[in-house]
Amino acid sequence: MNNILSLLLGAFTIMTPILFAAAGGLFPALAGTLNIALEGLLLAGAFTALAVFYQTSSIALAVTAAAGASLLLSAMHAFTIFKLRANVFISGLAVNLFTGGLCVVLSGKLFNTRGVVSVHEVHMQPYWFTIMVLILLALSWLAIYKTPFGYRLRACDKSSEALLSLGINVQFYQIAALLISGIFCGIGGSFLSLRLGAFIPGMSSGRGWIALVIIFLGGRKPQGILAAAFVYGLVDAFSNRIQGIFNIPADFVLAFPFVCILLAMIAQKCIGTYKNSF
């Protein structure tokens, strides 16, 4: 029983930052402007949260600042896409690369180190972040399916010409979706660094990319990404447990969650193709 409870707690811990990023990335995905900058936004939130906590010792201020930093990066990303007419994927990759380098530079300026930055003990209960992301996901469901904003947001991808004919600014909703994803990722990034009480360069460790997969594996629906994120967290937590029990090569254990996601994507595609054939 204790092992099962420990496994579930581990799954929720692993799931939380990914679910923040996936919940935020869901909005641009529905608006037809996929945000592949989730990785960089998570990293920006992680660094900003730790830097602000170091100065203020306030978790609330640290989380707020993290959301603000990622929001600013998202605004820059949106400006590049819609005003400078840059390719959305190139701009997203630029944000990821820019953030990784910027965090290292700022770490050297603020903390005189380009490696790990640690602070005094952070008295934070991780489950509060899990509760927060579940609440935000529920609010996202309401916003997407029960409000005019959500109807128009979804129409940006499927019926943008109809919106334009009604005099509705499609770009406004796409920019709003990108900004929302920045806020969500900032909070998710703050969870990463505050839980450890440290910032490690590259500590997002591909979670932004995993979140993108989770969005589509969950059918671009809030309830779907919740299920997909939990299953991924469960598989990852399970792989961490079996590493110390069985004599399995570490590389295989680390790759196991990604192999499961790949198989799930293939299965989803096969099922979709099979249904469409009838």
Query: For position 5, what pLDDT does the model report?
Result: 83
Find the DSSP H helices in the chain. 2-31, 38-56, 59-82, 88-111, 126-146, 148-158, 160-165, 170-196, 207-217, 222-243, 250-276
Q: Tell me: pLDDT of 117 over 90.
A: no
Angle 17-23-25 (CA atoms, 0-180°, nearest 5)?
Answer: 100
* 0.85 exceeded by pTM: yes
Separation of alpha carbons 39 and 99, rounded Å: 9
194 in Cβ contact with 48 (< 8 Å):
no
Using one digit for the tens of pLDDT, what is the confidence trace for 182-213?
A: 999 999 999 999 998 899 998 998 899 999 99
Q: Directed axis angle between helix 222-243 and helix 250-276, to 10°?
A: 150
Position 194: which residue type?
L
Which CATH number does the domain housing residue 81 bear?
1.10.3470
- Which structural domain, as residue segments, surrounds residue 222? 2-276
Looking at the 3D structure of the chain, how many domains does it have?
1
CB atoms within 10 A of CB 109: 8
Q: What is the pLDDT of residue 270?
A: 75
- Candidate from 3-12, 44-53, 95-104 with smallest mean pLDDT: 3-12
- Sign of the CA dihedral running 121, 125, 129, 132: negative
Among 27-31, 44-48, 163-167, which is the least confidently predicted range?
163-167
Tens of pLDDT along 228-276?
Answer: 999 999 988 888 777 666 666 666 667 777 778 778 777 777 776 656 6
277 — pLDDT class (breaks 50, 70, 90): low
Query: What is the distance between the alpha carbons of residues 171 and 79, in angstroms, rounded to a whole number?
Result: 11
Q: How many CB atoms lie within 10 A of CB 122?
A: 18
**Using CA atoms, how far apart are residues 217 and 214, in angstroms rounded to an integer?**
5
Rounded CA gap, 262 and 267, in Å?
9
Beta-carbon neighbour count of residue 115 at 10 Å? 11
What share of the chain in percent tops pLDDT 70?
A: 92
Q: Which residue has the higher pLDDT, 221 or 159?
A: 221
Report the distance separating Cα 72 and Cα 104, nearest Å: 18
